[in-house]
Structure 1
Amino acid sequence: MNQHRREVLRATALFSLLAATGLVSEAQAAEWNKAAFEGKSYNDTLKALGAGSPEKSGSVSFTAPDIAENGAVVPVAVTSTLPNTEQIAILVDKNPNALAASFNIPAGTEAFVSTRVKMGQTSNVHAVVKAGGKWYVATKEIKVTLGGCGG
């Protein structure tokens, strides 16, 4: 119990320090879409994001390994050549929570993100992009040989 309390206090202190230095603003914290990150399925998460049924697009490039030897650190990269790209999200079908990452893309910047996601098992991974008020998707199956989410 005391260890958990210390971790919460440490996280609160770190967030306060970041807010005080201007690295994280209250507005940024308020923009966090809690419902989307708590979505248990691909469809629930799309609904929480407001994405409905995104259409497949060749303008969304999704780079990831075909086989991930360690599901704890699977490298993925998403590039969008769609004009006015506003948001890029990465969803993993078979994870306990489908939304692995979400990025807001500021106007005038290159629509490219690269990160590592955790996968418990072989699954479809989706790159969902919001551009010009519409949603687009690219999907790839990634085979996991060593699970990262408790596997």
Structure 2
Amino acid sequence: MLKANRRMVLAGAASLLLVRPAPMSSAWATPQAMQEAIRALVGEAPIRPGRIKLDISPLVENGNSVSVTLTADSPMTAADHVAKFALFTEANPQPHVAVFHLGPRSGRAIVTTRMRLATSQAVTALAVMSDGSVWSDRADVIVTLAACVEG
């Protein structure tokens, strides 16, 4: 059996100080940061509601794994198809969640994924079409058990 002496105890305490968790960051996204992230993706193109549907539950029990489905009204032909789907949040650590690149060979304009939500917030989905037009949908989500929490 190993006997602990004073040096071992002090060395153990010092090592705990070296591996302590970082303090909780207050660098959360804001609605303004989300708008800046959207503009970084689509530039000055006007964003219009419609043609895309964001399917997400309005009440989420656990923010660690939230199911999201994006669908768009598109024939998915070479002349008219969804080029990108994008997801943004206004209160996660990062406002830009994901971008999905599609094309006419995708067959259907549908993407299903899971994401984390740090707290109750608005989620915005965009569909960038092959002609450059940008369409949006938005959903307010209430999260009872938050994710993305450190510390």
**TM-score normalized by the length of structure 2:** 0.69
Pairing of 1:60-139 with structure 2 (within 5 A): 60-82=52-74, 83-109=80-106, 110-131=108-129, 132-139=131-138
Q: Name whichever of 134-143 and 45-54 sits farther off.
A: 45-54
Q: CA RMSD in A?
A: 1.7
CA distance in 2, matches of 1:73, 1:125: 14
Is 1:44 matched with 2:42?
no
> Percent of pairs identical after alignment?
21
Deviations 1:56-92 (A, max 9, x none): 11x2111111111111111100001134110000111
Alpha-carbon contact 2:49-2:135 (below 8 Å) kept: yes
Q: Which runs of 4+ in 1 moved over 3 A?
A: none
Q: How far does residue 105 in structure 1 lie from its aligned partner after superposition?
A: 0.5
Residue number in structure 1 paired with 2:47: 54
Gaps of 5+ in 1: 1-38
Equivalent position SS for 1:145: strand
Gaps of 5+ in 2: 1-28, 75-79
Letter in 1 for 2:149: G
Letter in 1 for 2:141: I
Instruction: Give the greater-gyration-radius structure (CA).
Output: 2
CA distance in 2, matches of 1:75, 1:50: 25
Letter in 1 for 2:91: K
Alpha-carbon contact 1:118-1:148 (below 8 Å) kept: yes
Q: Which has the higher contact order (CA 8 A, sep 6+)?
A: 2
Q: How far does residue 51 in structure 1 lie from its aligned partner after superposition?
A: 4.4
**TM-score normalized by the length of structure 1:** 0.69
TM-aligned CA distance change 1:63 to 1:51, over 3 Å: farther
Length, aligned pairs only: 112
Alpha-carbon contact 1:56-1:137 (below 8 Å) kept: yes
TM-aligned CA distance change 1:51 to 1:129, over 3 Å: farther
Alpha-carbon contact 1:51-1:135 (below 8 Å) kept: no
CA distance in 1, matches of 2:90, 2:43: 16
Letter in 1 for 2:82: T
Q: How far does residue 150 in structure 1 lie from its aligned partner after superposition?
A: 0.1
